[in-house]
A = this chain, B = another copy of it.
Amino acid sequence: MTDRATAEELDGSDPLASWRDEFVIPDPDLVYLDGNSLGRTPRRAVEALQQVVEQWSSDLIESWWQHDWLNLALAVGDELAPLIGASAGDVAVHESTTVGIFQQVNVALDLHDRPPTGRRPVIAVDAADFPTDRYVSEGIARLRDADVRPGLDDLDGVDVVLRSLVDYRTAEVADLAGETRRAREAGAITVWDLSHAAGVLELDLPASGVDLAVGCTYKFLNGGPGAPAFVYVAERLQARVTQPIWGWFAQSDQFAMERPFEPRTGIGRMLNGTPPVLGLTAARAGIGVTADAGMGAIASKARRLTAFGLDLVDRFGLESVTPRDPRRRGGHVAIRHPDARRLHEQLTDRRVIVDRRDPDILRLGMSPLTTRFTDVYDAVTVLAGLVNAPPS
């Protein structure tokens, strides 16, 4: 059953429905299916930002100690950790996702046993992966006399694999444990990019044998525009990790200034410079709402939202490239149409906000804390009307 009454019933019985009230939603009629690009604004973020600005103006430099800003990047990491199955002490939140990927691929190159003499290190990255993942790899290859190999089918001779857990176009989910193992058996360390996974999939990085991961907090974690990224290092590896960008927040005794660099023990050695307090404050709010709602319930609703969307896609005869197996599917439904660009504009004009990835993909992002089944119904219905309408 895929009519609007069904959507309303699903909203009515949705155990997460009331969490939408935790967000600032000025226009309740706007159909927003782009929370996988920029999540909505948690009310807590508004309050927390007001509070941190008051701290800044009142307590000034002493805020670094009084409000523990010095430890903020690690405290927010501790709060994020359970959302990916990790423990406090395994995650730091700071800088951009790009910098996080740069750090982790360098870490992986250094963790790896040196390749046989005379061979250059090899980084494997899927040619269809998100561009930044490829760009960062190319840049590191240039810097370190390594090679980038496109494609992940053959990992023979590969030292580092960089890959997204959720494909940013199709929403296909890779086999986290199986692919980590396959790479390891081929002699490679995998850096997982969790940007489209964190906050929408139930993950257990330690149980999956993950070594290194990085991810974004402004998508399903609702951390705010350009929110800082997170980096994860398995506890068993932390003592061996050397990251490339050495700053005073990674120094073992930060304010003892007359010594050579000596990295902190634990995840703190992944830090660089002074943390972005405003961005971290908003990110913390988004992470907190997610943790309080519960990652299990959120992941469950994501599967139901995307299933409902795919049913509608079928009913209207649209084409989706998103997997039908809910275990292999992230938090969005990708629809392929040759007129994607025109349809995207027409949807926007009708206040249905989705995402486009050229040349022919429309992404309908379903962010479980704010997306209603009626949003999915309305978006696909309007889209189907546009697809099937005679050209104007």
Q: Which of A52, A136, A278 has the most CB of B within 10 A?
A: A278
Looking across the interface, which residue of chain B has its beta carbon closest to that of A357? B257
Which B residues lie within 8 Å of A135 (CB)? 246-248, 250-251, 261
Contact of A277 among B94, B140, B226 (CB under 8 A): B226
Looking across the interface, which residue of chain B has its beta carbon closest to that of A128? B258
Looking across the interface, which residue of chain B has its beta carbon closest to that of A355? B61
Task: Assess whether A131 is in contact with B251, with CB atoms less than 8 Å apart.
Answer: yes
Task: Assess whether B273 is in contact with A276, with CB atoms less than 8 Å apart.
Answer: no
Task: Assess whether B34 is in contact with A61, with CB atoms less than 8 Å apart.
Answer: yes
Which B residues lie within 8 Å of A56 (CB)? 38, 41, 224-225
Cα A137 to Cα B276 with chains together (Å): 22
Q: Is A385 an interface position by the 8 A CB rule?
A: no
Interface string of A346-366 (1 = CB under 8 A from B): 001000010101100000000
Task: Assess whether B26 is in contact with A40, with CB atoms less than 8 Å apart.
Answer: no
| A46-70 contacts to B (CB < 8 Å) | 46, 49, 52-53, 56-58, 60-64, 69
Task: Assess whether A69 is in contact with B246, with CB atoms less than 8 Å apart.
Answer: no
Q: Which of A96-104, A158-166, A180-188, A200-208 contacts B (4 or more CB under 8 A)?
A: A96-104
Contact of A247 among B23, B69, B136, B251 (CB under 8 A): B136
Cα A58 to Cα B41 with chains together (Å): 9
Cα A58 to Cα B26 with chains together (Å): 6
Task: Assess whether A247 is in contact with B278, with CB atoms less than 8 Å apart.
Answer: no
Contact of A143 among B24, B106, B348, B353 (CB under 8 A): B106
Interface string of A235-257 (1 = CB under 8 A from B): 00000001011111111000111
Q: Which of A56, A227, A260 has the most CB of B within 10 A?
A: A56
Task: Assess whether A272 is in contact with B24, with CB atoms less than 8 Å apart.
Answer: no
Q: Is A231 an interface position by the 8 A CB rule?
A: no
| A272-327 contacts to B (CB < 8 Å) | 272-280, 282
Contact of A275 among B23, B57, B226 (CB under 8 A): B226
Task: Assess whether B46 is in contact with A60, with CB atoms less than 8 Å apart.
Answer: no
| A206-246 contacts to B (CB < 8 Å) | 218, 224-229, 242, 244-246
Q: Is A32 an interface position by the 8 A CB rule?
A: yes
Task: Supply 29 A–B pairs (Cβ within 8 Å), ascending by A.
Answer: A24-B57, A25-B57, A27-B58, A40-B57, A40-B60, A60-B353, A62-B348, A62-B353, A63-B225, A95-B95, A96-B247, A96-B274, A98-B246, A98-B249, A132-B246, A132-B248, A134-B261, A136-B245, A136-B247, A138-B246, A138-B260, A140-B244, A142-B242, A224-B277, A225-B278, A226-B278, A227-B276, A227-B278, A276-B279
Sample of 18 more A-B contacts, CB < 8 Å, known A138-B246, A218-B274: A37-B61, A38-B64, A49-B53, A49-B278, A62-B353, A94-B96, A102-B244, A131-B248, A132-B246, A132-B247, A132-B248, A135-B250, A135-B261, A226-B274, A228-B276, A229-B273, A276-B278, A279-B279
Closest 4 CB pairs of A and B: A98-B273, A98-B247, A139-B246, A96-B273
Residues of A within 8 A of B (CB): 23-27, 32, 34, 37-38, 40-41, 45-46, 49, 52-53, 56-58, 60-64, 69, 94-99, 102, 106, 130-132, 134-136, 138-140, 142-144, 218, 224-229, 242, 244-251, 255-257, 260-261, 272-280, 282, 348, 353, 355, 357-358
